[in-house]
Amino acid sequence: MNVELSTDFKDKYRKLMGERADKFFAAIETDSRNSFRINPLKPNYKNVNVDLSEPIPYSDVGYYGDIDGNSIDHQAGYLYSQEPSAMYVAEVLDPQKTDKVLDLCAAPGSKSTYIATKMDSQGLLVTNEINNKRARILSSNIERMGITNAVVTNNSPKDFEKKFEGYFDRILVDAPCSGEGMFRKDPESVKYWSLDYVEQCANRQRHILDSAFNLLKPGGTLVYSTCTFSPEENEENIDHFLSQHEEMSLSEIKKYPGMEDGKPEWGNDNQELTKALRMFPDEFEGEGHFMCKMTKSGAAAKNREKNVSTGIGKEEVKLLDKFAKANLIDLAENNWFKVSDFLYQAASLDNRFKSLHVLRNGLKLGEFKKNRFEPDIAWILAIEPTKLKAIYKLNDDQFETYMYGESIILTDKPEFDNKWIGLSYQDKLFSWGRYSNNQIKNVYPKGLRR
């Protein structure tokens, strides 16, 4: 690997790190260690075609190793590629199943999807990204992993302050940063680095932290993390934030071998910063990361929610009921909510979300079309297999055929005759199939085909 570090970068960190600097620079020149997570929201989630012999010590679902993005394990949402340092952020946040959680800078979704698995898809997870293109990638990852308790939004942090002051139990600010900790994974990012860019990032992060403070309940938890080494974006920012918000205090974080204390000497000599956590690639088997955990003092005010109308008419209920009776074992009404012609199992019906640009509210069940209801791919990725009347297990050749967009021709009449069936490969549900006349017609989304 050839990472060309700038003179300004080297000069800066020689001053900060002294004799350790050469070892630090050498580590940035070495290859990264890849890792991934398995998804406990899926049935038999350890039934995957990857090596699980090297677990990550601070994660119950993380492992060192590589995954194939074209495999059924990935397509069906059983695996998520995530850098090992970044996995610890959700563990530090420690979300509970009844919490309202906000991931304020969430794309592409690695931390949000981890948070959702720790919540067992219960409670409420609001996962936000200000950039529209990246927000849509975030939404697709939420869908692939079968997450049902997430509202995906495309807003600025300031947009939330209008309606959500003191609303969230836990907030993650995984701040957009100068990316120094990812130089060896993304050598192109080195070209964009400058001392001025670091200052721009630090200034932007301060505004995001101020918004997060306003959105956090008294008694709530705020985790701030970056993938940069820069003191300006880490210790200096947190010292400044604490000086501006006396209600906030740092909490201890458990540190595993290779993890280091935050550096008070890089943050106005604030000794509380030893409670923060740093990961440097010369000591830790992962990329560069900083994180700290803060709590907000005071008593939480009562949160009064007002729900929106579901927007579902009698005819639509009949169409959904007809689909369910033909294809499902049962379908319990659960926060059904219609947007345009699309039906969702809403993660929240709180009318405050009407003030935001919402890309996805909970689980997308399907679409009402003329005289019928058609199920969505998101539903099959989240549904319990026992809820389906029929599942057809594809063999190797059939799976390849289907992934290339072709229909499956059955040589023998199957036991089922219902129109919509679940398709599985290697015992993993990944798509609906539409059955008719000994043929399973392909309804797999074109954007996911090979």
- As annotated, the active-site residues are 227
Q: Are 411 and 395 in contact (CB under 8 A)?
A: no
- Beta-bridged to residue 424, according to DSSP, are 393, 429
Does the annotation flag 109 for ligand binding? yes
Flag whether 292 is marked binding. no
CA triple 417-418-424, angle to 5 deg = 95
HEC secondary structure over 240-295 = HHHHHCCCEEEECCCCCCCCEECCHHHCCCCHHHHHCEEECCCCCCCCCEEEEEEE
Q: Are 77 and 148 in contact (CB under 8 A)?
A: no
Question: 349 burial class (0-12, 13-18, 19+ CB within 10 angstroms)?
Answer: middle
Residue 144 exposed, middle or buried by CB count within 10 Å (0-12, 13-18, 19+): buried
19 CB-near residues (< 8 Å, 6+ apart)? none
Does residue 108 have a known ligand-binding role? yes
Strands 100-103 and 168-174: parallel
| Enclosing H/E stretch for 366 | strand 363-369
23 in a labelled binding site: no
In this structure, the dihedral spanned by the alpha carbons of residues 16, 20, 25 and 26, taken in order and rounded to 10 degrees, is 180
Measure the CA–CA gap between 432 and 423, rounded to whole angstroms. Answer: 6
CA-CA distance, 362 to 349, in Å (whole number)?
10
d(CA 14, CA 4) in angstroms, rounded, equals: 16
* 110 marked as part of a ligand binding site: yes
Q: Does the annotation place 189 within a ligand binding site? A: no
Shortest CA distance to 111 belongs to which of 132, 127, 135? 127
314 marked among binding-site residues:
no
Residue 208's contacts (CB-CB under 8 Å, 6 or more residues apart) are 104, 105, 157, 173, 175
Annotated binding residue 106? yes
- Establish whether 150 is an annotated binding residue: no
d(CA 426, CA 74): 12
Annotated binding site: 105-111, 129, 174
Binding residues for S-adenosyl-L-methionine: 105-111, 129, 174
